[in-house]
Amino acid sequence: MPAVIFGGGIDVKRDNRLASQIDLSQTLLSLTGVRSQNPMIGDDLTQNIPVDKQRAVMQRGKNFGWMKAHNDVVVILLGQGVYLCL
């Protein structure tokens, strides 16, 4: 997921971990110093996330996908079923 975050006190960093847009809200809250418990499902990318916990959530139209760090993919096609792609 390409993203650039600018701000005072934010170190230059290239992050090659598997991540999704749903991680941005948790990450931005953390970068602004907000500590909270909330129902958002994203990961805070300022924290260490073990490889086995990294994932990407994808969506196009009514189709959804979930990819793990080792390229295991689950695809949900609305009305057509669930497919595991290894």
Per-residue pLDDT of the chain (86 residues; tens, 9 = 90+): 778 888 888 888 888 999 999 999 999 999 999 988 888 889 999 999 999 999 999 888 888 999 998 888 888 888 888 877 86
Identify the pLDDT of residue 86: 67
Q: Exposed, middle or buried, 75 (CB in 10 Å: 0-12/13-18/19+)?
A: middle
3-class secondary-structure state, position 4:
coil
Identify the pLDDT of residue 19: 92
Site of tokens 């595991």: 84
Torsion, Cα 63 4 10 59, to 10 degrees, reads 0
Looking at the whole model, is its pTM more than 0.95? no
Identify the pLDDT of residue 6: 85
Separation between Cα atoms, residue 17 and residue 29, nearest integer Å: 19
